[in-house]
Amino acid sequence: MYSKEERQEITRRYRDLLKVWKNRSTPEEAKMVRQAFNLAVEAHIDMRRKSGEPFVYHPLEVATICAHDLRLDTTSIICALMHDVVEDTDYTLEDIERLFNPRVAMIIGGLTKIKGIFDDGTRSIQAEYFKRMILALAEDMRVILIKLADRLHNMRTLEHMSREGQLKIASETLIMYAPLAYRMGLYNIKTELEDLSLKFTEPEVYHHIKEQLESTSSDRDSFINRFIYPIKDVLSKFEIPYIIHVRTKSVFSIWQKMQKKNIPFEDVYDIFAVRIIIDSVFENEKLDCWKVYSLITDIYKPKHDRVRDWISIPKATGYESLHLTVMSSEGKWVEIQIRTQRMHEIAESGFAAHHQYKNSQDEGKAIETWLTRIREQFQNPDNNALSFLDNFKLDLYSEEIYTFTPKGDMRKLPVGATALDFAYNVHTEIGNHSIGAKVNLTLVPLNHVLKSGDQVEIIISKIQKPQKIWLEYAITARAQNYILEALKAEKKLHYKEGREKLQELFREIGMEYNKQHVKKFQEYNNIASTIDLYYEIAMGTIGIKELKNCCHKIERNPWFNVLIPFSKTKPAIPKTLDESITERIKNKPEEMLLGEKVDIEYQIALCCNPIPGDDVIGLIMPQKPIMIHRSNCKIAIDLMSSFGKRIVKAKWNKKDPILFLAGIQFTGIDKIGFIYQLTDIISNKYKLKIRSFHLDSSNEVSIGKIMLYVHDTKNLNDLINDLKKIKEIKKINRMNPV
Ligand code: MN
């Protein structure tokens, strides 16, 4: 609950936010911000910060940083206000999506994931980990920007933390967040983060430099006044509208300089820089800046190797300015920065500041442009980048995805892994008892395919047991092995029950129950082991009907009556599909014909998508249509080990003109027109229907996957050979069975 004073303070802070929120445009947007504010006030009603203040001050301050320092858009302010709501209160992402929109929910979802991973007080995160994760988690760059604002406010209020917590957060900020801010062109935020970090990691150094700065400030002020006087004079004379700011170096960068050059505070010559910000129209900016340069160097001599022209070639962050160092009449070097108002805004608040949106349609576009620019930067680090960020690349070629437990533990899984794979990766028992999962707080089935950055919570039930169908859900060997093991154990449980039931059945039809007869019955059903036989009987898949048919056959074929001595050796479980096929053909030479007009019900296995022309086999599963797999399909091989000889050799009926789904994958150079050529061949030359098309492009390399309907292997191979002729394609092949 809030006290009366606290309510007033909340309202005051909200008004402050509205005051600095310059980008607001429509009444609807104002209404949404109000709604987000109300929701945050209500959701955090029972929460306090370490300082004892109402928690809601924090999101209000974060939103203010977003609006004022970063000049972000309305969506960002709404998200900043609610950034801790999903993590800390009963509100869910679905609620947010319902009350606001999917984009807001997506950004808050991203912030919640990052919080779970990076802000868990018990864990010390590695820079490497941070690097890899932050881009993977942030589908929208606003997630990172709001995260920076969040971190800045936490740093500003760090004194309430324990000493241990202060050290951890401060050093993390220095190593990770400050370089991140720098890379995004957010110089003010970077500077403040660094100074605050130093304040907590090396309080003595910080306070010493701070004191020195203060005690020398009046001397400095009078020196600066003398120094800029002639500059002001000449600017007025030439009627150039200007403002002069004096920027004192940050405590942190003074400290860096002192350490690097091994000098005391007094010897740091560039404690401050003089910033001349002129009014200029966009077309004349460059000329006007150099005009000022020329006027200044008429007064003071420049140091020839200290001119930095970031107007002709802006920094990758978008920073534009003209820097020079001149000799003052008192024999001291002074740095001068010349820039226009527009350049100044970019330097102060990041590129977003430049877009003082005229209307709300432009807003989305402008911020997107800026965000894209930052993203590009992340992906193409230049040589000047801080070493930490040098290899800050999102690895699009990765064969692995990075997923997280609700507590933020990272789980590496292969691409294509499902929630079930995740469950077995966490623990066998969790896998064995899983019934579903929550991925990013949304309920999904066990066969849900995971993406990098997903946070996965497995839902378990004590009474759940591994199911046969799970073998089709899981793609990791680990999960499949455990499932097979559990299925085997499950079968053993039914051993006795099945055996008793079979004895009963034998008695019913008046046949002697002995090993030879059981073995014959097992062979009749094409079952690999007696365990499997008893299991099928216990489950009721095989019963009196099969036994009668078997006996009938035995009576009709005296050959079967020849007493086969019971072999002591166990029936070997076929190891490879080839062996199984050979064995099967020996017993049952007829083949199954696949095509449209066949009596037997069959299905094409999705794991390997066989098409006419492929070597295929049919797998007989109890009470299911026969599954047709490619004979090199790994899943089929695994299934074989549990279903033994229940396999038929299948063959395609060539007369049927049917279409089958097949996949091709390729790697190519991303040039304009390349995708057109590709689809042109598929659609126009071959007249094939594309079902799906996925393309990942990065650094001019594209990796693509196409699922399409083809007639047979010849058709597919012809197509692949034609596509190979496109010169941008470096590698292309049919997708292998998973
Ligand atoms: Mn927060």
Question: Is the residue at 690 inside a domain?
Answer: yes
Number of compact structural domains in the chain: 5
pLDDT of residue 585: 45
pLDDT of residue 165: 82
What is the CA(146)–ligand 1 centre distance, in A? 9
User: What confidence tens digit (pLDDT) does each residue in 365-397 have?
Assistant: 555 555 565 555 555 444 333 232 333 322 223
Report which secondary-structure segment, H or E, holds 697.
strand 689-698
User: Are 451 and 415 in contact, with CB atoms under 8 Å apart?
Assistant: no
Question: Is the residue at 647 inside a domain?
Answer: no
Question: Is the residue at 619 inside a domain?
Answer: no
pTM of the model: 0.51
Length of the chain counted residue by residue: 738
User: What confidence tens digit (pLDDT) does each residue in 152-174 have?
Assistant: 999 999 998 888 888 888 877 88
Could you identify the residue written with the tokens 């955090």? 44
Buried b (16+ CB within 10 A) or exposed e, 308-339: ebbbeeeebbbbbbbbbbbeeeeeeebbbbbb
What is the CA(346)–ligand 1 centre distance, in A? 26
What are the distances in angstroms from CA 361 to CA 32, 100, 367? 17, 18, 11
Question: Is the residue at 593 inside a domain?
Answer: no
Same domain? For 10 and 153 the reply is yes
User: What confidence tens digit (pLDDT) does each residue in 686-727 have?
Assistant: 888 887 788 777 767 778 888 888 888 888 999 999 998 888
Tokens representing 581?
A: 């096929």
What is the CA(81)–ligand 1 centre distance, in A? 9
pLDDT of residue 332: 85
Whole-number Å distance between alpha carbons of 650 and 594: 7
User: What confidence tens digit (pLDDT) does each residue in 562-615 have?
Assistant: 333 333 333 344 344 445 444 544 444 445 555 544 445 667 777 777 777 777
What is the CA(5)–ligand 1 centre distance, in A? 23
Same domain? For 282 and 227 the reply is yes
User: What confidence tens digit (pLDDT) does each residue in 672-689 have?
Assistant: 777 778 888 888 888 888
Higher-confidence residue: 345 or 456?
456
The domain boundary residue, chosen from 461, 491, 521: 491
User: What confidence tens digit (pLDDT) does each residue in 29-48 have?
Assistant: 889 999 999 999 999 999 99
Whole-number Å distance between alpha carbons of 584 and 640: 12
Residues with a known catalytic role: 87-88
The domain boundary residue, chosen from 532, 556, 580: 556
Range of the domain at 548: 493-556
What is the CA(150)–ligand 1 centre distance, in A? 5
What is the CA(284)–ligand 1 centre distance, in A? 43
pLDDT of residue 197: 92
Listed residue (640, 669, 670, 694) closest to 416, CA to CA: 694
What are the distances in angstroms from CA 58 to CA 23, 30, 92? 21, 20, 20
Same domain? For 459 and 535 the reply is no
Same domain? For 535 and 548 the reply is yes
In 3-state terms the chain splits into helix, strand, coil percentages (rounded to 5) of: 50, 15, 30
Same domain? For 152 and 15 the reply is yes
Q: What average pLDDT does range 442-453 have in this prediction?
A: 86
CATH number at residue 402: 3.10.20.30
Residue type, 516: Q
pLDDT at 655 over 80: no
Question: Is the residue at 205 inside a domain?
Answer: no
Same domain? For 302 and 223 the reply is yes
Q: Which residues pair with 629 in a beta bridge?
A: 617
Whole-number Å distance between alpha carbons of 638 and 220: 79
Residues 6+ apart with CB under 8 A from 172: 124, 125
User: What confidence tens digit (pLDDT) does each residue in 608-653 have?
Assistant: 777 777 777 777 766 666 778 887 777 776 666 555 446 666 666 6
Same domain? For 443 and 310 the reply is no
Question: Is the residue at 591 inside a domain?
Answer: no
What is the CA(85)–ligand 1 centre distance, in A? 9
Average pLDDT over the chain reads 79
Same domain? For 383 and 523 the reply is no
Q: Cα–Cα–Cα angle for 111, 112, 114, nearest 5°?
A: 65
Question: Is the residue at 364 inside a domain?
Answer: no
